[in-house]
Amino acid sequence: MAGWYLINNLRLGRQQFFAGAHVDDRTIDAAAITAAGGILAPDSNPACVKAAKLCEKLRRGGAAPEELQSLMVGAIGSTLFALPTGGGGANSVQKVAFDWRSGSPIVLQAVTSQNILLHASFAITTAFDGAGAFAELGTSANPGQVFGPGEVSLGQKVTYDCLHSIAGFVPDNFILTLTLNGSTRGAGMLVYEME
């Protein structure tokens, strides 16, 4: 038996699931939810438990489904890249929301040879409808240095993770490049940690 929290809003057949819903393998088919584009996080994750409780309260109070989804995406992003508790706290965790109206490229920050990318994760919360839409993450000189063309498809609700460190940047801008191919809907979030 496994338990999960749903990160995004999802319709499965006639049933609507809202972000923050608890998915218990004994009563709900988690595989069917993920096959339909659901993003699940373990119910052992303390930040997700807290966010899910708040989502339930907000949902009963009439909050929009998009608000619930944003709350859950933020919760999982904050736990994927938790800052170290000791040391100088020099790491910078950034969350960047984007959608079908976003311009491209998005300049995230300046980087130097001293910077190290510790982690990066994309959560596509609403699939983009432009054929072959994708994202790249890298520098102005090398836009696909972290995620290259075709590695982050925006056409389905899914997460993509780069959990290994990347160093050796040349002085440049760290950028997110979106190739939306005429999308008229779609949304996601990039969370990254830079040292």
Question: Is a pLDDT exceeding 70 seen at residue 1?
Answer: no
Helix (H, G, I), strand (E, B) or coil at 89: coil
Domains, the chain: 3-79 (no CATH), 83-194 (2.60.120)
pLDDT value of position 45: 75
- The runs of H, that is alpha helices, within the chain are 30-35, 46-60, 65-80
Which residues are within 8 A (CB) of 48 and not within 5 positions of it... i.e. 6 or more apart?
5, 7, 41, 42, 72, 75, 76, 79
Percent of the chain with pLDDT over 90: 25
| Residue 75 pLDDT greater than 80, yes or no | no
What integer pLDDT is reported at residue 79 of this predicted model?
A: 52
Q: What is the pLDDT of residues 96-139, one digit of tens each?
A: 888 899 889 999 889 998 888 888 888 888 899 999 999 999 99
Burial of 105 from C-beta contacts in 10 A (0-12 / 13-18 / 19+): middle
Across the range 52-68, mean pLDDT stands at 88
What pLDDT, on a 0 to 100 scale, did the predictor assign at position 140? Answer: 92
Lowest mean pLDDT among 75-79, 117-121, 164-168: 75-79
Predicted model pTM: 0.57
What's the pLDDT score for residue 163?
Answer: 67
Q: Which residues on neighbouring strands pair with residue 50, listed in sequence order? A: none
Compute the half-sphere exposure of residue 103: CA atoms within 13 Å on the CB side of its CA: 3
When pLDDT is cut at 50, 70 and 90, the band that residue 180 belongs to is: very high
Task: Find the mean pLDDT for residues 23-48.
Answer: 79
Between 163 and 48, name the one with better pLDDT. 48
Residue 87 has pLDDT above 70, yes or no: no
pLDDT for 150 beyond 80? yes
